[in-house]
Amino acid sequence: MLTEEQRAIQDMALDFAMAEMAPHAMRWDAEKIFPTDVLRELAKLGFAGVYVREEYGGSGLSRLEAALVFEALSAGCTSTAAFLTIHNMASWMIDSFGNESQRAKFVPPLMQMDLMASYCLTEPGSGSDAAAMRSRAQRDGDHYVLNGSKAFISGAGYSDLYVAMVRTGDEGAGGVSCFLIEKDTPGLSFGANERKMGWNSQPTAQVIFEDCRVPAENLLGAEGDGFKFAMKGLDGGRLNIAACSLGTAQRAFDKALTYAGEREQFGNRISEFQAIQFKLADMATELQAARLMLYDAARALDANDPERTKRSAMAKRFVTDAGFNVANEALQIHGGYGYLQDYEVERMVRDLRVHQILEGTNEIMRVIIARHLLNS
C-alpha cells in the first residue's frame, strides 16, 4: 500500500510526464534531441536528487518514492527518464561518499541541473566483467593522470561531471578508485555519438582519458573504494531502470487496451476475441507482479535489508524482462500499425530492449541471485 503523500508524488510526476514529455517524445526520438530544458524543469520539482539528502538541495525521499517517480516519468519518455535516473545515481554517490568540500561544491548545482552528471563504469573490453577494467590513474603530485576509455556512457560530451571508476592499484575489484572528473579537465575527450536502436533522446558516446590530469581532491573516498561504491550505486540503479521499464510497459499496455476496444475486424472489436483478451489478461498480470516485486525490493533497500542486493537483482531481471514482453505484445495487438512510428509503441519496444542489458545484464542478475542463494 502507498501512502497519500506517495501517491501525490507519483501523480505530480505523471502529470508532468503527460504534459511536458509525452507530446514531444516522438520528435526527440526521431531528431535525437537531448531535452536539457525539460530536465531542468524536472529539477525544479526536486527530481534531480530524489534520494539525495536535503542538506544540499536534494528531496531526501526514499528509494520506493524514487521508483514511483521514475515509473511515472517514463510513461512520458523512457530515455529521458532513464537519463535522469543516471544523474540521480551519480549525485547520490557524491552525497553519500564524498567529503564535505566535494558535497558543497558539486551537489547544489547538480540538484538544479546547472551541472549534469554521467556515470562511467563500462569499458570497451570489460562490460559484464566490470572489475577487469583497464583504465588507470597514476598519482603525480597533487593530481592523478588518467589513461583509458569508458564505453556506452549516457550524456558523454554533454554532461558537466563524470563519476568514473578507474584502476589505481592491483588487478581485481580492490584496485579500483572513483574520480569526479569535470568536463573541462585537460586530457578528457569524447567519441562520436553512438547510433542506437533506442534511447535516442539522450546522447551516448565513449569517454576518453589521454593523460587526463584530475586534481587529487577529486578522488571520491579513498583509493580502492571505487568498486564498492559502484556496486552500492547499482543496487539502486537497477531499481531505477526497472521502474522505467514498468512505467513504459504500463503506457504501452494502456495504448493496447484502448486500441483493442476501437479496432474492428471481422465485424467485431478485436477486444471481443478471446485471443486478444488472453493477451491483455497476461499483460496486466505481468505488470502487477512486476510492480509488487519492484516496490518490495525498493523497501528492502530503504530498510538496508541484508538481502537487498539479491532482491534488487531479482527485481531488475524480472521487471525489465516483463516490461519488454508487455510492450512487445502491445505492438502485436496493434498489428501493422504498431510497427509505425505514429503509434509510438514501436519506440517503447526499442527503448525497453536495452534495459535488459544495462546496469548489469539480466544474465549477470541471475549470477548475482544464484551466488546469494548458494552462499547463504
- 134-163 in b/e form (b: 16+ CB < 10 A) is ebbbeeeeebbbbbbbbbbbbbbbbbbbbb
Q: Is the pLDDT of residue 376 over 80?
A: no
The closest alpha carbon to 347, from 26, 8, 105, belongs to 26
Q: Is the pLDDT of residue 130 over 80?
A: no
Q: Residue for cell digits 562520436?
A: 192
Catalytic residues: 359
Confidence (pTM): 0.96
**DSSP per-residue codes, 135-183:** -EEEEETTEEEEEEEEEEEETTTT-SEEEEEEE-SSSSGGGEEEEEEET
Q: Residue for cell digits 510497427?
A: 339
pLDDT of residue 131: 78
pLDDT of 257-286, one tens digit each? 999 999 999 999 999 999 999 999 999 999
pLDDT of residue 126: 83
High-pLDDT (> 70) share of the chain, %: 100
User: Which residues have CB under 8 Å from 352's CB, separation 6+?
Assistant: 78, 198, 245, 248, 249, 320, 323, 324, 327
pLDDT of residue 368: 96
Beta-carbon count within 10 A of 179 CB: 25
Output the CA angle 292-294-298, nearest 5 degrees: 115
Contact 28, 200 (CB under 8 A): yes
Distance CA 101, CA 105 (A): 6
Ordered structural domains, the chain, with CATH? 4-115 (1.10.540.10), 118-223 (2.40.110.10), 227-375 (1.20.140.10)
Mean pLDDT (the chain) is: 97
Distance CA 104, CA 376 (A): 40
pLDDT of 33-86, one tens digit each? 999 999 999 999 999 999 999 999 999 999 999 999 999 999 999 999 999 999
Q: Is the pLDDT of residue 125 over 90?
A: no
pLDDT of residue 1: 83
Beta-strand relationship, 136-140 and 204-215: unpaired
The closest alpha carbon to 279, from 340, 351, 328, belongs to 328
* Whole-number Cα distances in Å, 94 to 38, 204, 373: 23, 22, 32
Section 209-213 average pLDDT: 98
